[in-house]
Amino acid sequence: MSLCLAHPTEGYYTKPLRDILGARGDFITSPEVSQVFGELIGVWFLTRWLANGTPSPIRIIELGPGKGTLIVDILRAFSQFQASKVAMQEIHLVETSHPLQSVQEQALKPFVEEFGWKIQWHDNLDAISQTDNQYTIVLAHEFFDALPFHLIEKSQNGWQEIKIGSTSSKPETTTIFTPPGSTATLHKQTKSNTPTTNSNFRLVASQPSPSSSLLGLASPRFKDLPIGTRVEVSPASFKIAHQIGKLLSTKTEGSSLGGAALIVDYGGDHLYGDSFRAFRDHKLVDVFYQPGECDLTANVDFAFLKEAVSDLLLTHGPISQADFLTRMGIDVRVETLKSQAPPERANVIEKAAKRLTDLTGMGKQYQVLGFTSEAISGEDDGPWPFVKLDEQATLR
């Protein structure tokens, strides 16, 4: 997965040859649908900074910024308020794709020229250090779903890993992928049968090993799972979430000034075993189809991310994107934009907003998880919009 997405010359995200985002690409993201998405996320971060008493200058870190659309919309919100405009100092972008870095630089150029905000690019989160004189904001939108994972299966003899093998190998019985992966299920097939994919790769069940056993211990939730259960485990996701925790935590030695984070992604508050899939031209395809030419993704286990920061931060949610945006006032913002636009543009604005909150699509598929460094007085149930509402209040 890492090779297919991030190889220096042949990776899906590193090739400069074609668009991957938007209508002409392979998938579209919420920031590309409507500016309101980023604006409301920016407002949420501002409320956290204000709730902490505007403690210091601000730095913002985005993981996987894409074309820079989201960070631009967030910074536009920051620039509308004098206090945050003055407090904003640094923008750190974790991006390994040089072509995308160039796109992001052009998108952010107006902010650099007008406000003097500093921008730095990093290959990984390790390069960003903890600070005791800046309030840290971290954003990861459709980032964790692209991180590599291990697929393990619980057998009578312990946890075994499902690995990628070549179709040229000899075993009589092999485990291969069923294309194109609407459900990403696995099945057994003898070598005499015709493979269900034209790929030279297949998925193979290995014998239990020390590494697969260790993966089976990655979360206490895996302990009592029944035999035959498959689990997608991403140590890379756990590590990065823990790094976010250390950047924001006020509990560690040499601790930071605190901060807040939002993770927005496909997934849920539970484990997955069959979510690995590939996209090409806005359609699901076999995960082994044209490596390096397709977007690869797997659902995010938000409970696993919460375990990674449990001793460092407060966690909130996840809640659906629809709930997050609705409670943050998307309807009010959309009406304001519509009132300032000609009728044909107003209709486009409204349709885009509805797409973001559609419970048969983006509104439910995307989940929002919040991290904060400390509790705030008067927020006993957590920060808005992550507070739990009774059913009747939700319906209203």
- The per-residue pLDDT for 294 is 84
Say whether pLDDT at 212 is over 70. Answer: yes
Q: pLDDT class for 197, splitting at 50, 70, 90?
A: low
Distance between CA 179 and CA 321 in Å, rounded?
29
Give residues with Cβ within 8 angstroms of 18, minimum separation 6: 25
Q: Mean pLDDT, to the nearest integer, of 146-166? A: 93
Say whether pLDDT at 19 is over 90. Answer: no
Say whether pLDDT at 390 is over 70. Answer: no
Q: pLDDT class for 332, splitting at 50, 70, 90?
A: very high
Contact present, 301 and 232 (Cβ < 8 Å): yes
Q: Mean pLDDT, to the nearest integer, of 346-356? A: 94
Phi and psi dihedrals of 364, rounded to 5?
A: -105, -35
Distance between CA 37 and CA 368 in Å, rounded?
12
Contact present, 233 and 150 (Cβ < 8 Å): yes
Contact present, 219 and 304 (Cβ < 8 Å): yes
> String of b and e for 265-287 (b: at least 16 CB within 10 Å)?
bbbbbebbbbbbbbbbeeebbbb
Q: Mean pLDDT, to the nearest integer, of 242-252? A: 92
The dihedral of CA 338, 340, 345, 349: what is its sign? negative
Q: Which amino acid is at 356?
A: L
More confident residue, 5 or 299: 299
The pTM of the full predicted model, rounded to 2 decimals, is 0.86
Give residues with Cβ within 8 angstroms of 336, minimum separation 6: none
- The per-residue pLDDT for 15 is 67
Distance between CA 265 and CA 209 in Å, rounded?
32
DSSP 199: S
Mean pLDDT score of the chain, rounded to an integer?
A: 86
Among left, alpha and beta (phi > 0; psi -120 to 50; other), residue 60 is: beta
- pLDDT of 95-123, one tens digit each? 988 888 999 999 999 999 999 999 999 99
Q: pLDDT class for 71, splitting at 50, 70, 90?
A: very high
Contact present, 15 and 292 (Cβ < 8 Å): yes
Helices (H), 272-385: 302-308, 321-327, 330-339, 343-357, 362-365
Closest CA to 68 of 36, 40, 88, 94: 94
Neighbours of 21 (CB within 10 A): 19
Percentage of the chain lying above the pLDDT 70 cut: 86
More confident residue, 334 or 169: 334
Q: pLDDT class for 293, splitting at 50, 70, 90?
A: confident
DSSP per-residue string spanning 108-173: HHHHHHHH--EEEEESSGGGSPP-SSSEEEEEEES-GGGS--EEEEEETTEEEEEEEEETTS--SE
Contact present, 266 and 299 (Cβ < 8 Å): yes
Distance between CA 215 and CA 222 in Å, rounded?
9
- The per-residue pLDDT for 20 is 53
Say whether pLDDT at 160 is over 70. Answer: yes
- The domains found in the chain, sorted by start residue, are 2-148+234-282+295-395 (3.40.50.12710), 150-233 (no CATH)
Say whether pLDDT at 314 is over 60. Answer: yes
Beta bridge pairs of residue 372: 260, 314
SS3 349: helix
Q: pLDDT class for 290, splitting at 50, 70, 90?
A: confident
Q: Which amino acid is at 70?
A: L
* Residue 82 CA, distance from chain mean position: 30
SS3 39: helix
Say whether pLDDT at 178 is over 50. Answer: no
Give residues with Cβ within 8 angstroms of 81, minimum separation 6: 46
Q: pLDDT class for 169, splitting at 50, 70, 90?
A: low
- pLDDT of 186-196, one tens digit each? 322 323 333 34
User: Which tokens is 140 given?
Assistant: 């990861």
Q: Mean pLDDT, to the nearest integer, of 296-302? A: 95
